[in-house]
Amino acid sequence: MKVLYFAWLKEKTSLAEEDLPLPCGVSTVAGLMEYLKNRGGGFSDAFADITMIRVAVNMEHVQVSHPLSDSDEVAFFPPVTGG
Amino acid sequence: MKVLYFAWLKEKTSLAEEDLPLPCGVSTVAGLMEYLKNRGGGFSDAFADITMIRVAVNMEHVQVSHPLSDSDEVAFFPPVTGG
Amino acid sequence: MIRIQTEDFDVGAEIKNLVSGKGNIGGVCSFIGLVRDFSGNEPNGENITSLTLEHYPGMTEKQLEKIETQARQRWDLIETLIIHRVGQLQPSEQIVLVATAAAHRDAAFESAKFIMDFLKTEAPFWKKELGNKGAKWVAAKQSDSAKKETWENE
Amino acid sequence: MIRIQTEDFDVGAEIKNLVSGKGNIGGVCSFIGLVRDFSGNEPNGENITSLTLEHYPGMTEKQLEKIETQARQRWDLIETLIIHRVGQLQPSEQIVLVATAAAHRDAAFESAKFIMDFLKTEAPFWKKELGNKGAKWVAAKQSDSAKKETWENE
């Protein structure tokens, strides 16, 4: 699974992207967010308030209940501010 | 009184503008249109159907009931088609 | 600003000029009206070769200024521009440019639409089409009056 | 057409290119978004010196194409163009250009507004402001989500 971080999530995690196996017991975006939050350090800070975070799976906006598979590209970012 | 004709009114009357005293007994735009229609020739043709004609007095759109004075500038034209 | 002219206009240069030096502008909405080119595509096989735009000098400026003033009363605008050409135009040529600059995009979009809707019904311009089947004055559209009335009833 | 680029764009040239050779276009509506220049005018005395635009390559194009497709399904459009810049921008610089060309002006106005409203909520761009009081990520506006929802409920 490819995981991407943008804007302040990239800054807080100090990571733009990583390859990660789907963690054991994780089947949804919400589960992955919980897993990442428990990594500690910058990740705990970045995922402290998940209401501030938006998610895309395979470049489509999804809800946190969206299911995940090991071949997915998952991206975490704040609400968009383009235009 | 200055009277102006635009678009097909100018073509039918063969006149772009003329200086005209306020005709005796005419006090509104409708009265002037009736007077012009009775001039005969191109004017009768131009003013045959007054529902096709729009009017401005002193460069403001008005209804045919609008009063006229000898110092007015009156313009007759079809509905506008700019833009 | 209002300009009536026979010459063509450069949209990029006009918009650049409009926003230059005014840092609080967040968005510019513009509308460009073009002479449609129906070459061979008119339902009746008519081929329009040119368009002549007549206007009523003096009243045109007065009406456009009034429209601009109404738009500025209705929305918070930083700049407005109306350029309208007169004289003879060829298919695909530019006829009109309306541009509105505001801090926020809704004001820019709405006011540009408002100006076009009122220009179409209040500004004394008349189009005459010249084609292979002769010349004819373009008829006004009922839908344009309806659009203006929608604004008045808001 | 969709373009993501670091370079500035020439609005006049882009619009000319959009309409060139398509005679049935009667009107073009465009919207240009600019970096607002608050020099010394920010309520808190902050002075914004530059803006950095980050995006999600791949998803940006995918989302903008989806928005363009939706606009073309909803209105009768002849051409659509979205140009969005990324990277570092200075106050007063152009950020985005949306242009829509149609036979009739309402389709052009409405669709350009629609594209901007969806771009603001769906396209993965993030703005970071750099000022004399440091850098901060721009917060999304609740009003932008509300505008998108208005279209969805129509």
pLDDT the model gives residue D154: 83
User: Does D112 lie at the interface with C, CB-CB under 8 angstroms?
Assistant: yes
Alpha-carbon dihedral B31, B36, B37, B42, rounded to 10 degrees? -160
Instruction: Look at residue C128 and give its three-state secondary structure.
Output: strand
CATH number reported for the structural domain that contains residue A32 in this entry: 3.10.20.30
How would residue C37 be classed by pLDDT, with cut points 50, 70 and 90?
A: confident
From chain D residues 80-119, the ones with a CB under 8 A of any chain A CB are 84, 95-96, 116, 119
Residue A70 lies in a domain: yes
Closest to A33 in 3D by CA, of A11, A61, A5: A5
**What pLDDT does residue C133 have?**
84
- Mean pLDDT of the region C114-140: 95
pLDDT at C132 (0 to 100): 85
Q: D21 falls in which pLDDT band (50, 70, 90)?
A: confident
Q: Name the band, by pLDDT with cuts 50, 70 and 90, for residue C65.
A: very high
The chains found to touch A (3+ Cβ pairs under 8 angstroms) are D
Q: Mean pLDDT for chain D?
A: 93
Contact yes or no for B81 and C122 at CB 8 A: no
> Helix or strand or coil: residue A65?
coil
Contacts of D82 in chain A (CB under 8 A): none
Secondary structure of A36-62 as H, E, C letters:
HHCCCHHHHHHCCCHHHCEEEECCEEE
D47-65 pLDDT, tens per residue?
Answer: 788 999 999 999 999 999 9
* Domain spans in chain C, listed from the N-terminal domain onward: 2-152
Per-residue pLDDT, C39 = 60
Cβ–Cβ of C119/B83 closer than 8 Å? yes
Average pLDDT for residues D12-17, to the nearest whole number? 96
Cα Rg of chain C, angstroms: 16
**Of the candidates C151, C30, C154, which has an alpha carbon nearest to the alpha carbon of residue C102?**
C30
Compute the count of residue pairs across chains A and D with CB atoms less than 8 Å apart: 67
Q: What is the pLDDT of residue C42?
A: 58
Looking at the predicted structure, is the pLDDT value of residue D130 above 80? yes
D45 pLDDT higher than 70: no
pTM above 0.80, yes or no: yes
Residue C41 has pLDDT above 60, yes or no: no
Contact C121/D at CB under 8 A: no
- Residue A82, domain member (yes or no): no
D24 contacts chain C (CB < 8 A)? yes
Instruction: Please give the Cα distance from A4 to B57 (Å, whole number).
Output: 68
Residue where the block lists tokens 């918070």: C76
Domain membership of residue B69 as a residue range:
2-77
Assigned domain for B83 exists: no
Task: Report if residue A29 sits inside a domain.
Answer: yes
Please state, rounded to an integer, the average pLDDT across all residues of chain C.
93
With touching defined as 3 or more inter-chain CB pairs under 8 Å, the answer for chains B and A is no
Q: Cα–Cα distances in Å, from B77 out to B4, B57, D138?
A: 8, 12, 54
The total of other beta-carbon atoms located within 10 Å of residue B48's CB is 11
- Given a contact cutoff of 8 angstroms between Cβ atoms, the answer to whether B79 and B8 are in contact is no
Is D138–A81 a contact, with Cβ atoms under 8 angstroms apart?
A: yes
Does B60 fall in a domain?
A: yes
The single-letter DSSP state of residue C152 is H
Domain over D2-152 is classified CATH 3.90.1170.40: yes
Is A83 contained in some domain? no
Cα distance from C4 to chain D (closest Cα, Å)?
19
**Structural domain tally of chain B?**
1
pLDDT in tens, B27-70: 999 999 999 999 999 999 999 999 999 999 999 999 999 999 99
Residue C64: pLDDT band with limits 50, 70, 90 = very high
The answer as to whether A61 is a domain residue is yes
- C-beta atoms of D34 and C27 within 8 A: yes
Tens-digit pLDDT profile for residues A23-75: 999 999 999 999 999 999 999 999 999 999 999 999 999 999 999 999 999 99
pLDDT, residue D60, reads: 98
Residues 6+ apart with CB under 8 A from A73: A1, A2, A3, A4, A57, A58, A59
SS3 assignment, position C17: helix
Nearest CA in chain A to D95: A83
